Amino acid sequence: MKKRVIVLLAALCVLISGCAAETAASPAPESISVYRVLSPDYQTGGKLLQEDRVVPNTSGSQVAQAAAALAEKPQSEHLQCPLPDDVMILDAVRGENSVTVYLNTEYLNVSGIEKTIIDACITLTMCSISGIDFVSICVGSEVVEDKLDSEDFLLFDNIISSQKAQVRIYFPKSDENALGSEYHTISFDDENSPERGILYALLGGPISGSLKRAFPSGTIVLSVYTQDGVCTVSLSGITPDDETHTPEEAKLAVYSIVNSLTSLSGIKSVQILINGKQSPSLWGFGIYSPLSKNDSIIGSTVTQ
């Protein structure tokens, strides 16, 4: 009897050590946020879609697993599958930073809010996979929706009051040469303009660990004002020719300001000044002229 117990214990130890070794050898894949529709009884606070975290297998492709998860019936009774019964995801092909999702022809019969919900759930789910920024939806060879990204869908009313709102602030992504974004609550009044509130949130740094600071600590806003659609921002505490920053980092830093500020109505472009003066470049990236929003360097959204 004792022998059996010892053998069992030894086998258990081997199993545990084997698992541990496997875990150590291949890091656990990042979870995928699968977006589904909340059942009508659970649509509280204006929420329509709900993310459901799914940990993919290490063996298959994440894109295929995300597509399969989208088609599955949710376990929770609070959630519903976004795809109607007759609409099926036939394939999902991963590109450089995008995914093309192939649906059957029944998809073409869906319209209105129902179609928007399908598009949103597919896009948001695919963009939650690291490295995916855009989603295209095709039926056969026909491209029905091209280059959808997570910013195309507003999942909640971000305006809290006439002096408080949740605003999308852009930060460089930690692991790639692109911008990600997250919502920050900005308060403003007669003394502090919304532009200043956005810049303070930007210089305060990101909340998410997958994003990083655009500007070093100690950077301060000297002034900010908007005139004729051009927002002029004067920064201090940074050296324009600091060689510790690469031009790529400079580009991300500059567009983190430009893209964040141009989300405000009435701001078309942003002029960045250093210590109150026009500067030809910041860390090797030209900022002499006002800059407009650059969507091409926006990666997937980190948080909605």
- Which residue ranges make up the site for other proteins (CB under 8 A)? 38, 40, 43-44, 46-49, 111-113, 115-117, 119-120, 151-162, 165-168, 186, 194, 263-266
Cβ nearer to other proteins, comparing 266 with 280: 266
**Residues 260/165, Cβ–Cβ less than 8 Å:** no
CA distance from start to end of the chain:
58
CB of 120 to other proteins, least distance (A): 6
Least distance in Å: CB of 65 to other proteins? 24
Of 89, 98, 37, 94, the closest CA to residue 68 belongs to 89
Least distance in angstroms from the C-beta of 223 to other proteins: 20
Least distance from C-beta 218 to other proteins, angstroms? Answer: 27
Residue number, 31 or 166, with CB nearest to other proteins? 166
Could you give the C-alpha distances from 228 to 158, 220, 231, 267, 269, in angstroms and in order?
A: 26, 24, 8, 8, 10
Please identify, using beta-carbon distances, which residue of 51 and 274 lies nearer to other proteins. 51
Q: For the stretch 204-217, what's the b/e string if a residue is b when 16 or more beta carbons lie within 10 angstroms of its beta carbon?
A: eebeeebbbbbbee
123: which 2 tokens? Answer: 């896009």
Minimum distance from residue 255 beta carbon to other proteins (Å): 17
Which SS3 state, helix, strand or coil, does residue 92 take? strand
Closest to other proteins by CB, 64 or 155:
155
Would the CA dihedral through 279, 211, 123, 58 be positive or negative? positive
Q: How far is the CB of 118 from other proteins (least distance, A)?
A: 11
Structure tokens at 167: 């605003």
Q: Dihedral sign for Cα 215, 219, 220, 225, please.
A: negative
Q: Taking Cα atoms as reference points, which of 125, 147, 136 lies closest to residue 56?
A: 125
Shortest distance (Å) from residue 299 CB to other proteins: 18
Taking the least distance from each CB to other proteins, the nearer of 35 and 102 is: 35
Q: In angstroms, give the least distance from the CB of 167 to other proteins.
A: 5
- Nearest residue (CB) to other proteins, 62 versus 301: 301
Rounded to whole angstroms, the Cα distance separating 168 from 199 reads 12
Cβ atoms within 10 A of the Cβ of 18, count?
Answer: 10
Helices (H), 214-246: none
CA atoms within 13 A of residue 5's CA, in its CB half-sphere:
2
Of the candidates 95, 97, 96, 106, the residue with the CA atom closest to the CA atom of residue 71: 106
Nearer to other proteins, 92 or 198 (CB): 198
Paired strand residues for 172: 179
Q: Compare residues 168 and 251 and give the one whose CB is closer to other proteins.
A: 168
